[in-house]
Chain A
Amino acid sequence: MFTTIYPQLIGLCTGTLLLTSALMVWRHSLLASIRLLSVQGFALAALVAVIGVEEGEVEVILVAVLVLLVKGVALPWVLARETHATTRTDEAPRLNPTAALLTVALLTILSYVVASRLLAGIDGVSAHAAPIGLAMVLIGFLLLVTRRQAGSQLIGFLVLDNGIATVAFLTSGGVPLFLELGISLDVLLVVVILYVFAGRMRSKFGNTEIDQLRKLHD
């Protein structure tokens, strides 16, 4: 019974992942992006859980719980807390929403083209969904390039990280628990450090526009 709905569940989870990523490009409000990130974390956890049930491995389900805690709860909570604590400034991206969404579409097409070459030998439902991960990496990168505020950049970075995790889960059928634990804690640490850094920037310059950091060249 599960094997029949398995492809649909995978499709649902990866679809949610791609949708949230695209929405993040569209929305300019930082808080909305954080909420979307939280949804994305839940979707990723659900994806891992589905893979775990399909393969019948308890360890992968534990990984799913871990992903849920870190990417769905902890990271958005840290981000939201910091954002609430400070004066909120909305993002004025370097690319207008229409152009950005068009770019997202192009990047998704590109990742499907690339994946059709790279994953030509691998069969299976999860491998067919792998291009979504690649598309998320590219969308995350797009966010990094087009956003001005340090906080939004951080979200781009997290989308990129989620994309890498998605590709890893879909192609290899799960990551060992300890590895996932290490990676998750790493990302958490990076986010905390970057947030401290953003706080320093705010107290120094009054905002977090990284365009102002131009002195670092000879």
Chain B
Amino acid sequence: MTALEAGMLGQTLLLVLAVAAALLTPTPWRSRVSGTFCTLLAAAGIVTGALALSGGTGSLSIPTALPLDPLVLSPDRLGGLVMVVVSSVGVLASLFGIGSARVASASRTAWLSMAVFLCGMQLVPAATDVVTFLLFWEIMTLGSTALLLAHHATRGTVASALVWYSAMSQLSFFFVLAGFAMLAGQAGGTGFADLATIDPYSWQASVAFLLLLLGFGGKAELVPLHVWVPRVLPEAPGHVAAAMSGAMVNIGVYGALLVLVRLLPNGPAWWGVLIMVVGGVSALYGILQASVASNLKVLLAYSTTENMGLVFLGLGASVLLRADNATAAADAALVAALLLMLSHAAFKSTLFLGAGAVARAAGEMNLDRLGGLGSRMPWTAAAFGAAAMGAAALPVTSGFVAEWMLLQSLIHGSRVDGEVVSVTASVAMPLAVAVIALTAGLALLTFVKAYGIAFLARPRSPEAKLAVEVPVIMRIPLVLGALLVVGLGLLPGPLAVAVGGAVGPEFTPDVRTIGLAGVDARGIDAVLDPTTFVVLAGLLLVPVLIALFVSARRHPTRTSPLPWAGGGSRLRPRMQYTATSYAEPLVRVFDDVLRPSRDVEVTHVGESRYLVERVHVEQTVSDVVETRLYRPVLNLMQRAGILARRAQNGSIHRYLSYSFVALLLVLIVVSL
């Protein structure tokens, strides 16, 4: 038995133990025991994934009673990479859950489904055939659905969110199933090795590609299949949202990678263009919605759509460039997409855990009612801040490295040796750069808002005023996550090499480590060494800081009443910017896309027209995709449902007649 096989066996054993712990432990101890087992399960996933990533081989075969081949789990290097990513998020989420899970989210069902969910996610990338892949995919989906269900008793909105989630995840399952069925029918087998023999230029491959893009795009929260995200994630407890948004979306990306790297590499150029369009639209739409959202979790949820959009933009660029024979740039774009996935997992899980900590401390997710948490919850604030920097793609974080790499590949992509590779690429690449630039700008604005409004200034509500720091067990994953965000940003070289190795043997990106763990993408002449940059900047900064410190000692600070208080001291928390007012200019600029509905209600004092007692402003931004695309379809289906109900009136005779007529019709058809 190889180490890899032992790792996978260990994961299944730990799943059994975690399930047993969730069922058998009494309530006061359940979160601790089950959380520990879930953490161990995820840790086993990290070890297994790392073994697979470093080239270990081995397979675990699970015989079934069904007339199928046995389920074979044998992760390749790409699968290993994804397994490491989702398991790392799983460790953070489980650790956080030990401290944060209370009442409903600490129930037997919740911990049991957490373990099932984690195990499903960790084993999807290990699948070597379609059936195994789909089985663990469904286990993952069912686990997450049951996890969300835990809160249905206390909040009415959970049920509707859950219906959306189930419907959308089954829709994406259907697309994935249909796509794989198409490929399997063409290849004559369900193993991924059989599927890889199909010619990507055949029409069957293109149909399968479209179906699979829809299916995996739905899991990766891309527009227009993202509608469940802003409903579901705000209803989920912090650690569950972190696991879903930080880890589960990566399974969607893995599916896309599986198709574009393993099964149908070197696809036609229009695939690349299509993926780029879907990714670009998702990125822009996601970040626009995030920038105007005033609920912290909704903001984070839409930001996931944005980041996954960028990942797919990178994937699409790599397909397009490869079709145009710009291999070096294509490889760089692929590495960039993978780096984006990694960095997104790190910062998004930290952000959601931070949001969970805020929800526990202040009991509030509405940014307009938060504020001043920075001094009350310093650990959470620091971790959230670091992760927010990552999400805004600021230097020395992982997000920066990934977006830098993507931009480099796009800028250098449309030319090889000074020659334009194709008209499509020379149009698509500059457009993609513009999309990323706009996205990056809006992301900066969004996360300045998220961090600034929530953690700085004064509390905007009594709940925020009374907030206290979360216990140590919850701080640990927060700090770990923040360290990951910064660490991945400081060590891009080894990371890019590992990622580049993972897409082999089909593709061999020419990236290597340079300087102090810096990255050198040789094909496109791009070098980045953040650690050296940080060390140099630190050396330069030391004298400046000393000078500042000395001068500050010399001139004592003056305190003066704030000028805008009109000389008085009537400064109140309500005079501050709120999330809504901060985003107001954006709402104006993007009025056509966002279509906000505003409701201003003025109450006058007595009869006076000029004296105002209170002004109530309410602004809601609707999701255009939902109102324009989903509502009409849903209404149509509802009407059809009402018609269909007439056929089903409860009379047994009528049902018997239906079967009788059906039987007669079958017989008549047979005898024709």
Which one of B108-116, B357-365, B488-496, B643-651 is at the A interface?
Answer: B643-651
Q: Is the CB of A217 within 8 A of B652?
A: no
Q: List residues of chain B with CB within 8 A of the CB of A214.
A: 649-651
Give the distance to chain A from B52, nearest Cβ to Cβ, in Å.
Answer: 49
For A216, list chain B residues within 8 Å (CB): 650
Contact with A along B636-672 (1 / 0, CB 8 A): 0000000000001111110011011001100110110
A92 shortest CB reach to chain B, Å: 13
Residue A164 CB within 8 A of the other chain: no
Among A114, A141, A217, point to the contact of B671 (Cβ < 8 A).
A114
Known: A117-B670, A117-B671, A211-B651. 15 other contacts (CB 8 A): A94-B653, A110-B668, A111-B667, A114-B668, A138-B663, A141-B656, A141-B663, A144-B656, A144-B660, A145-B657, A213-B650, A214-B649, A214-B650, A217-B649, A217-B650
What class of interface size applies to chain A in its complex with B?
Answer: 20 to 34
- What A residues does B656 contact at CB under 8 A? 141, 144-145
Total inter-chain residue pairs, C-beta < 8 Å: 44
A144 to B660, CA, bound (A): 9
- A145 & B664 in contact (Cβ 8 Å cutoff): no
- Bound Cα distance from A214 to B651, whole angstroms: 5
Is residue A142 contacting chain B, with contact meaning CB distance below 8 A? Answer: yes
A138 to B663, CA, bound (A): 9
Beta-carbon contact of A145 and B649 below 8 Å: no
Q: Once the chains bind, are A110 and B664 in contact (CB under 8 Å)?
A: yes
- Contacting B at CB under 8 A, from A174-218, are 210-211, 213-217
| Pairwise interchain contact A142-B660, C-beta atoms closer than 8 A | yes
- A 135-149 to B, binary, CB cutoff 8 A, 1 in contact else 0: 000100110110010
Distance A150 CA – B447 CA, assembled complex (angstroms): 69
Q: What's the minimum C-beta distance from A115 to chain B, rounded to whole angstroms?
A: 9
23 sample A-B contacts, Cβ–Cβ < 8 Å, listed by A number:
A94-B653, A110-B664, A110-B667, A110-B668, A110-B671, A113-B671, A114-B667, A114-B668, A114-B670, A138-B664, A141-B656, A144-B656, A145-B656, A145-B657, A148-B653, A210-B653, A211-B651, A213-B652, A214-B649, A215-B650, A216-B650, A217-B649, A217-B650
Q: Is A99 an interface residue (CB 8 A)?
A: no
Q: Chain B: residues with CB nearer than 8 A to chain A?
A: 648-653, 656-657, 659-660, 663-664, 667-668, 670-671
Flag if B660 contacts A118 (CB, 8 Å). no
Give the residues in chain A near B671, CB-CB below 8 Å: 110, 113-114, 116-117
Q: Which residues of A contact B648 (CB under 8 A)?
A: 217
Would you give the shortest CB distance from B638 to chain A, in whole angstroms? Answer: 14
Q: When chains A and B are docked, how far (Å) is the Cα of A71 from the Cα of B664?
A: 27
Please tell me if the beta carbons of A210 and B667 are within 8 angstroms of each other in the complex: no
- Chain A contact residues, majority secondary structure: helix
A73 to B649 Cα, complex, angstroms: 38
Interface centre among B650, B660, B667, B670 (most CB of A within 10 A): B667
Cα A140 to Cα B652 in complex, Å, equals: 16
Q: With A and B bound together, what is the CA distance between A116 and B671 in angstroms?
A: 8
Residues of B within 8 A of A215 (CB): 650
Contacts of B657 in A (CB 8 A): 145
Complex: chain B residue closest to A134, CB-CB:
B667
Q: How far is the CA of A117 from the CA of B656 in the complex (A)?
A: 26
> What B residues does A141 contact at CB under 8 A?
656, 659-660, 663
Q: Compute how far the CA of A211 lies from the CA of B649 in the bound complex, rounded to whole angstroms.
A: 11
CA of A144 to CA of B649, assembled, Å:
18
CA distance A117 to B648 in the complex (A): 34
| Cα distance A144–B671 in the bound complex, in angstroms | 24
Closest residue of chain B to A110, judged by CB? B667
Q: How far is the CA of A210 from the CA of B660 in the complex (A)?
A: 17
Q: How far is the CA of A148 from the CA of B652 in the complex (A)?
A: 10
- Output the least CB separation between B208 and chain A (Å): 38
Closest 9 CB pairs of A and B: A217-B650, A214-B650, A114-B671, A113-B671, A114-B667, A145-B656, A141-B660, A117-B671, A145-B657
- Report which of B650, B653, B670 forms a contact with A145, defined as CB distance below 8 A: B653
Chain A nearest CB: distance from B534 CB in Å?
A: 64
Q: Residue of B at shortest CB range from A106? A: B664
Q: How far is the CA of A94 from the CA of B657 in the complex (A)?
A: 12
**Complex Cα–Cα for A121 and B303 (A):** 67
CB neighbours of A217 from chain B (8 A): 648-650
Assuming the contacts A141-B663, A142-B660, asked whether A211 and B653 have C-beta atoms less than 8 A apart, the reply is: yes
Q: Which residues of A contact B653 (CB under 8 A)?
A: 94, 145, 148, 210-211
Residue of A nearest to B658 (CB): A145
User: Which residues of chain B are near A210, meaning CB under 8 Å?
Assistant: 652-653
Q: How far is the CB of A120 from chain B (nearest CB, A)?
A: 11
How far apart sit A136 and B664, CA to CA, in the bound complex (Å)? 13
A114-B670, A117-B671 known; A145-B651 Cβ under 8 A? no
CB distance from B670 to the nearest CB of A (A): 6
Residue from B650, B653, B659 having most chain A Cβ neighbours under 10 A: B653
Nearest Cβ in chain B — how far from A5, in angstroms? 32
**Identity of the chain A residue whose Cβ is nearest the Cβ of B669 in the assembled complex:** A114
